[in-house]
Amino acid sequence: MSATLRIGIVGCGNISDNHFQAYAALPDVEVVAVCDIDPERARVFADAREIPHAVSSVAELAALGVDALSVCTPHPTHEAVVREAAAGGIHILCEKPIAADSAAAARMVEAAHANDVTLGIVFQKRFWDGARNIRAAIDEGRLGIPMLGHCRVLLHRGRDYYDAAAWRGTWAADGGGVLMTQAIHYIDLLQWFMGEPVEVSAKAGTFVYGDAIEVEDTAAALITFASGAIATLSATVAASPNLGTAITITGTTGATVSLTEYPEGTDAVNDLWAVPGEERAGSVFEHGLSGDIPVEEVNARLMPMHRQQVADFVRAVRTGGSPAVTGEEALASLRIVEAVYESARTGRPVRLAEPSTSRALAHLPATVTV
């Protein structure tokens, strides 16, 4: 690997500029090429940012000698891009979700291991200070064992959002609706806090956008974790105005902490911190409601977190260490989403794979069923 890390970006949609800006902010890192199946789109993106090369295939990127690449393409295409890049010895940072199904994701993880390349998955909201505060409180035992969680996602995506890209809101190209595209960020945080998921019961529906999309616009679930802990999940893209997101965790010490993101895309805060000796509380709504927010503005607000995750990925590539979110970790949130879909379809609880001892937190006392 040269002293300057040579980067390629695959896919020139909305989020790709966040990746470009994040790489551009780092020393000894250069974005040398972008790739898109639409050559003109790639050329326009490259010209606007003075990127030397615009190509239309991963093979062309590899021929340019890139060391690493970002995958910013629609979800079902992630597997093909990652496996081809891994076979070429190229390190990969892939946008969430890791794939549209866990079988594809497992093949991506295996390809990275087989070719000894770094595979990181973008869940940039793990870099919120508020999220890290909760993780630290769990690790330090200040909450005891997390026993109860709530994840609330009340976002707005209007018809214009779906009309802007034909692939949005389709099973074939988007892989799902609010759960797969928006709520998966918060599902990732929920399982990061609560431990390994083992069972899901859920309902889902398309209540508002049935004439515009094939996938769910609203879902709710009860998730059980390996420790015996339980959590609820509720998510929609049909809230108006957009009310942001929140995660609340209660532990066996009785302490409760929360993480609230409002407006969407801004730095989430610990607006409730009911830990003995550390108590504080506030409201993100005290100044009123901000209304609905264009997705481009949401993406722009996420730039600081993207920069932190891209910097972490570059560190992992240079040192041979693990990125903040590995492919294996990203499988957990995807399996929860798949289980919600399966439970909603069948009307029955869905058991996930048996918990691994490496991820399961300490167990709670035996669960009592009433």
pLDDT digit string, tens, across residues 115-168: 999 999 999 999 999 999 999 999 999 999 999 999 999 999 999 999 998 889
Looking at residue 258, its amino acid is S
Q: How confident is the model at residue 370 (pLDDT cuts 50, 70, 90)?
A: very low
Task: Kindly report, residue by residue over 186-197, the tens digit of the pLDDT.
Answer: 999 999 999 999
The two structure tokens encoding residue 241: 């105005």
Q: Is 13 exposed, middle or buried (0-12, 13-18, 19+ CB in 10 A)?
A: middle
Cα 125 to chain centroid distance, Å, stands at 8
- The mean pLDDT of the chain is 94
How confident is the model at residue 165, as a pLDDT? Answer: 87
pLDDT attached to residue 353: 73
Q: What residue ranges define each of the domains in the chain, with the CATH number in brackets?
A: 5-124+314-319 (3.40.50.720), 126-292+326-351 (3.30.360.10)
Q: List strands edge to edge, sheet with 119-122.
A: 53-55, 29-35, 5-10, 68-71, 91-95, 119-122
The whole-number average pLDDT for the span 29-42 is: 97
pLDDT of residue 1: 62
Indicate the pTM of the whole model.
0.94
What pLDDT, on the 0 to 100 scale, is given for residue 356? 56
- pLDDT value of position 365: 60
How large a percentage of the chain has pLDDT more than 70? 95
- Residue 360: predicted pLDDT: 45
The pLDDT tens digits for 274-327 are: 999 999 999 999 999 988 989 999 999 999 999 999 999 999 999 999 999 999
The 3-class SS string of 249-297 reads EEECCCCEEEEEECCCCCCCECCEEECCCCCEECCCCCCCCCCCCCHHH
Q: Which helix (H) or strand (E) holds 30?
A: strand 29-35
